[in-house]
Amino acid sequence: MADLLSYLNPEQRAAVTLPDEPALILAGAGSGKTRVLTTRIAWLIQTGRINPAQVLAVTFTNKAAREMIARLSALLPLNPRGMWIGTFHGLCNRLLRVHCRAAGLPATFQILDIADQLSALKRLLKGLNLDSEKYPPKQLQNFINHAKEEGLRPSKMDVDNPFNRKFVELYEAYEIQCQREGAVDFAELLLRSYELLAREVSLREHYQARFQHILVDEFQDTNRLQYQWLKLLAGSKGAVFAVGDDDQSIYGFRGANVGNMLDFQREFEVRNLIKLEQNYRSHGHILDAANGLIANNAQRLGKNLYTEAGAGEPVRVYRAETDTREANWLGEEIHALIEQGGALDQIALLYRSNAQSRVFEHMLVSQGIPYRVYGGLRFFERQEIKHALAYLRLLDNLDDDTSFLRVVNFPTRGIGARALEQLNDMARLHQCSLAAAVTYVGGKTGANLIAFVQFIEQMRHATQAMSLPEVVEYITQTSGLIPHYETEREGQDRIENLRELVNAAVAFVAENGDELNTPARSIPLAPGATPAAQLPVNESAQISLTAEATDGMTPLSAFLSHASLEAGDNQAQTGQNAVQLMTVHAAKGLEFNAVFITGLEEGLFPHQNSTNDANSLEEERRLMYVAITRAKKRLYLSFAESRMLHGQTRYNVGSRFIDELPTEGLKWLTSKRDSFAQNSMTRSRDENSWGRNWFAKKSTQEVRVAPSALEARQRTAATGFWIGQAVFHTKFGEGTVAALEGNGAEARAQVNFSRHGAKWLALAVAKLQPIDD
């Protein structure tokens, strides 16, 4: 025990060892909130106060949950994988799986991610013959999600204006459609489990008795419904341990409510309020910048942060003429960091909106710097993966119309739009799912549709006894997906991804323990799978639950939930040796040695929608505060005076946020006024130079020159190829390497083939041969 606590300062220790009462740890960035929360769980268990099954911890992302579980495993001799640690969505999914009947859901309910939900809504509007110009699906989606986040069902909604009335009607129709198809969107996961707990007294009491401790990270970003959910679970005892930072509340636009912190203090009668003031993450100048910036906000609960780490290096500011220049400069700086031994995954490029990543990606590819983008199109959101998942979902649930429509004619089976319209009509007429309606459609069309349903049935039958990875492999092949992509010119990548899906299934089984080795579609008899009615009121410590919400689920449906929840997760994964690119929102809770905050331009960051509204502007400033406080040792700020965005050139001035930083801690790499062209000539030697240790305070005076062709060649030689190299491919013939990306098994090259044009090839698979040296 002494060990656990010895890594903490006195305030942190006091927080970790608080009695079983409501507590709020209110503290600025990098002050160890997450560390305190994790240590408290370990401490509660280690000192025998509770057993692991009695903890419920909510984190903001799946990644954070995984990290917490990993840290606990390191701290404790027990296996904490079975604990209820996860995101709100993940935990609600788990609850609903165990109690699906009580929640009014089929055991195989499918989760709709944001994109699935949108397509379900489009389908709904189409089926009702409604003009999507008049009822924009995205707007309807926001309306529905917002209502759900407020805990509102259609029957409870205000319908006094005609437009609202229509939207409420559509919300209701959407609910009926989801129910029929066994589909649950993200907001529904929460609302449904909230309603379940609110309605079923014995169930609620069971969980209230079970979860002796509820711990919540990033509490400032909980929305109303999440707060109510926590309150319900906490019951009268209310041992909720919340950690948060009002200055980092950045999801107000999505309904998060800082007011929850105040309500929490009042409603839970919080007597234990602890503030942590020492920052362990950032060097002094970085922290000064953060403090100076956030002091401009009026709406604050008020906290201080200091560090003992010393001032460190100044915050570097760079003004570029264009976005391309900004990107090239970034490339140079990154190379310099790498040459000085900086780890790639300790370098983060942050931006306000996803669209900004394109120009950086282009630069990184052409400079041969491995990188990884988070928040863009993620693995589980790719077309081919979605297709494969749709087949897998149909095995589980033929009534899943979203999946049915996705693959009924992919690969093509001669089932056109007309046929689907007929099928839709029949389904509506008979109030049933599309699969159930196929027999009502006559003629050749009907026969094709029936054949498709039979085909799914056959695959379902054939996979009955297979393990999860076997099912996935079988489906990608037998559904016709792989054969289809084999005939496509650009299909190689997609096939690779489908193979990767098999690997993902293998990894999933490995991570989730032995109970998943049963045939993929029979329900494992883990103790957690006990039907609601038989749930023991006092569960013992040996209860076996897994990190993922697998209890009560078949391995296949557990895997499918995992895929949907991952797709909704905006976060980086660990262990990638690559420069990390992400939006500031996605960087929350993370830390890196070196951080670049790019595109610091008025209208971009702060976002133009916010500049006329004091509240939104404060939220943008909090976002900037989050960005700055991700940096441990080195922070760069940059902006471009002109930028191509959404097909237009915008001319910008630097962000007000730069002006709000204490000038003593800033170091302009370009002058504030002179043009970039003049500046780049006069950049001081010091600016461009680096010591051996890339964070050494005293830099050497060597001048870095642009990398020579030889250096460039050495940089990319890790893959065995370099840009400009002539190569030969058995199928596509001769070509030249145009770009390289990733490394090791993930290395890819873009090759311009003289006869087949440009192609991206995975080097581990494509047998590329160098022609000359």
Residues at the site binding ligand ATP, with contacts judged by CB under 6 A = 7-9, 12, 27, 29-35, 245, 248, 280-281, 589, 591, 629
DSSP letter (8 states) at residue 432 = -
Least distance between ligand ATP and beta carbon 687 (Å): 29
Q: Which of 113, 149, 188, 218 is catalytic?
A: 218
Instruction: Say which of 11, 12, 33, 643 is annotated catalytic.
Output: 33
- Which CB, 34 or 719, lies closer to Mg ion? 34
* Sign, CA torsion 617/619/620/621: positive
DSSP state of 572: P
Query: What's the DSSP call for residue 48?
Result: T
Q: Which two tokens stand for residue 426?
A: 């029949």
**CB-nearer residue toward Mg ion: 524 or 589:** 589
CB 687 within 8 A of CB 669: yes
The string over 485-524, giving b where at least 16 C-beta atoms fall within 10 Å of a residue's C-beta and e elsewhere, is beeeeebbbbbbbbeebbebbbebbeebbebbebbbbebb
The one of ligand ATP, Mg ion, none whose footprint includes residue 29, by CB under 5 to 8 A per kind, is ligand ATP
Per the residue annotation, which of 149, 217, 326, 566 is the catalytic one? 217
Shortest separation between residue 33's beta carbon and Mg ion, angstroms: 5
Least Å from the CB of residue 188 to ligand ATP? 28
Output the residue with the shortest Cβ distance to Mg ion. Answer: 34
Q: Give catalytic status of residue 218 as yes or no.
A: yes
Cβ 13 to ligand ATP shortest distance, Å: 9
Pick 453 or 631: Cβ nearer ligand ATP: 631
Judged by beta carbon, residue 473 or residue 618, the one nearer ligand ATP is 618
User: Which residues lie near Mg ion (CB under 5 A)?
Assistant: 33-34, 589
Least distance CB 290 / ligand ATP (angstroms): 10
Cβ 276 to ligand ATP, closest distance in Å? 7
Shortest reach from residue 248's CB to ligand ATP, in Å: 6
Rounded to a whole number of angstroms, the minimum distance from the CB of residue 26 to ligand ATP is 11
Q: What does the block give as tokens for 650?
A: 């915008």
The C-alpha R_g of the chain, in whole angstroms, comes to: 28
- Whichever of 35 and 192 has its CB closer to ligand ATP, that residue is 35
Which of 11, 12, 34, 303 is catalytic? The answer is: 34
Angle at 524 between CA 520 and CA 525, to 5 degrees: 165
240-244 β-sheet, strand order: 84-86, 55-58, 213-216, 240-244, 23-27, 272-276
For residue 152 the two structure tokens come to 């509102």
- For residue 580, give the amino acid letter: Q
734 is catalytic: no
Q: Which is nearer to ligand ATP, 9 or 46 (CB)?
A: 9
Q: How far is the CB of 666 from ligand ATP (least distance, A)?
A: 22
Cα dihedral: 338, 344, 349, 355 (round 10): 120
At 95, list the tokens.
């609850």
Q: Does 33 qualify as catalytic in the annotation?
A: yes
Q: Which is nearer to ligand ATP, 474 or 625 (CB)?
A: 625
Q: Least separation, in Å, of the C-beta of 619 and ligand ATP?
A: 16
CB neighbours of 740 closer than 8 A, spacing ≥ 6? Answer: 365, 368, 716, 719, 721, 722, 723, 747, 748, 749, 750
Tokens of 367: 């400079």
Whether 248 sits among the annotated catalytic residues: the reply is: yes
CA angle 59, 102, 541 (to 5 degrees): 50
Binding partner of residue 30 among Mg ion, ligand ATP, none, CB under 5 to 8 Å per kind?
A: ligand ATP
Least gap, CB of 31 to Mg ion (angstroms): 9
Pair of tokens at residue 45: 């268990």
Q: Which of 54, 248, 598, 670 is catalytic?
A: 248
Q: Tell me how far apart the alpha carbons of residues 16 and 14 are, in angstroms, rounded to a whole number.
A: 6
Secondary structure (DSSP) of 19-38: -SS-EEEEE-TTSSHHHHHH
For 296, 390, 620, 735, 739, the CA distances from 759, given in Å and listed in that order, are 50, 28, 40, 10, 10
**Could you confirm whether 393 is annotated as catalytic?**
no
**Which of the choices Mg ion, ligand ATP, none does residue 210 contact, using the CB cut-off of 5 to 8 A by kind?**
none
Contact (CB, 8 A) for 606 and 617: yes
- Closer to Mg ion by Cβ: residue 25 or 472: 25
Catalytic pick among 378, 630, 634, 715: 630
User: Which residue, 33 or 99, is less far from Mg ion as judged by CB?
Assistant: 33
The answer to whether 698 and 725 have CB atoms below 8 angstroms apart is no
Measured from the CB of residue 7, what is the shortest distance to ligand ATP in angstroms? 6
Q: Are 407 and 390 in contact (CB under 8 A)?
A: yes
Alpha-carbon distance 552 to 535, whole Å? 12
- Which residues, at least 6 apart from 160, have a Cβ–Cβ distance to it below 8 Å? none
- Amino acid letter, residue 672: K
Q: Quick one: 52 or 589, whose CB is closer to Mg ion?
A: 589
Rounded Cα distance between 493 and 318, Å, is: 38
**Range 658-661, long-range pairs (CB < 8 A, 24+ positions):** 658/317, 658/600, 660/292, 660/293, 660/296, 660/621, 661/289, 661/292, 661/293, 661/315
Q: What are phi and psi of 454, to 5 degrees?
A: -65, -35
Contacted entry of ligand ATP, Mg ion, none for residue 557, CB cut-off 5 to 8 Å set by kind: none
Q: Reply yes or no on whether 457 is catalytic.
A: no
If DSSP codes are grouped into helix, strand and coil, which group holds residue 217?
coil
Say which entry of Mg ion, ligand ATP, none residue 367 contacts (CB below 5 to 8 A, set by partner kind). Answer: none
Select the binding partner of residue 356 from Mg ion, ligand ATP, none (C-beta < 5 to 8 A, by kind).
Answer: none
* CB-nearer residue toward ligand ATP: 363 or 631: 631
By beta-carbon proximity to ligand ATP, the closer residue of 121 and 628 is 628
The residue number with the shortest CB distance to ligand ATP is: 32
Distance separating alpha carbons of residues 719 and 743, to the nearest angstrom:
6
List, as one string, the DSSP characters of 317-376: EEEEEEHHHHHHHHHHHHHHHHHTT--GGGEEEEESSGGGHHHHHHHHHHTT--EEESSS
Q: How far apart are the first and last CA of the chain?
A: 61
- Which positions are catalytic? 33-34, 217-218, 248, 630
